A = this chain, B = another copy of it.
């Protein structure tokens, strides 16, 4: 009986080690597209754009000039979605969700004018959806009403919305091009010679001025339901959004890829919504040199471990751990961006059995 007792303990221990090991030993093969597939004319079956979500709001501070009335109804909280469906499309689509102080432009041509991830995914056969977060880019924000209420002395200045713009110097650190502007980490991969092309992309961020809960994960949930089988690919500020969408409903979310999320769901929260969806949390290089990112990576690792301990299919990929070095926070624009897009495409094709 004693032997049996120890044998059982040993078996449990070995299983735990195996589970823990397998969570970290996923392989990340990269099946690239051929040169001709990358360079041939792009054949699109359908393209266009639409909005999802939004509700009507009455305001009496829409304008302070006579040509436009102050009173009336506007629509807020809708999310802009641009899509392209390639000629021979896979059944699983991807949705690209940008981060702080950026728009859907993140995924288009890089600052040094190479192919963006959106075009890559289209060429790879994925129906591809690029969104502007609610309150950013082509998705409206309630700026006029809030500003005019203060401008006309109906509301006090400290009630103005919390709006931020990331400076070049600040973004340089946050994006881990270097420890401090304008120094660069050795062998970092962002095309610094074209940095202007990144600064041109940056816009003010109104997320802290939006009502809670943030409307983007709600819109992403509605979009996933419509798409039926989609992989939500998020970045940085939006990193947690696909998980928040999954908390609303798993419907339509075939997979989650979170690129350097500002936060993963807390490891001690209810993880049920994340168990059934294959997920990949991916980080680049130089993380341990960043007091901003090192704790986030640690927290994501705990989250991934807990999800797997409960039978989930979560993965944490730190690129240097598989020999891919030099990637910054803006890895979709780094000089190996196409290789990374191929890695993610292969991950989707393998893990979700996408043909």
Contact = CB atoms under 8 A, between A and B. Distances in A.
Interface of A: 41-45, 47-51, 54, 56, 59, 62-65, 68-69, 71-75, 78, 80, 82, 87, 103-105, 108-109, 113, 115-116, 119, 132, 137-145, 147-148, 150-151, 153, 157-158, 160-170, 196-197, 199-206, 208
Nearest to A101: B68
Given A138-B138, A150-B150, A78 B164 contact: no
A109 B75 contact: no
B168 A72 contact: yes
Nearest to A139: B203
Closest 5 CB pairs of A and B: A72-B167, A48-B109, A51-B200, A144-B165, A75-B199
Contact of A42 (B44, B74, B140, B205): B44
Contact of A41 (B43, B71, B158, B170): B43
A281 to B, nearest CB: 21
Nearest to A58: B167
B163 A144 contact: yes
A281 B165 CA distance: 39
B49 A109 contact: yes
A217 to B, nearest CB: 18
21 contacts: A42-B45, A43-B44, A48-B108, A51-B200, A62-B164, A62-B166, A63-B164, A64-B162, A65-B164, A68-B166, A68-B170, A72-B167, A73-B169, A105-B138, A132-B138, A140-B165, A141-B204, A147-B147, A147-B161, A151-B158, A151-B160
Contact of A148 (B64, B108, B132, B163): B163
Given A65-B208, A166-B68, A137 B140 contact: no
Copy total for this chain:
2
A331 B166 CA distance: 38
A112 B200 CA distance: 33
Contact of A204 (B48, B116, B140): B140
Contacts of A116: 48
A89 to B, nearest CB: 11
A166 B65 CA distance: 11
B71 A108 contact: no
A130 to B, nearest CB: 10
Nearest to A107: B49
A144 B204 contact: yes
A146 to B, nearest CB: 9
Nearest to A62: B165
Given A47-B119, A56-B168, 7 more contacts: A41-B43, A42-B45, A50-B113, A74-B166, A137-B138, A144-B164, A150-B157
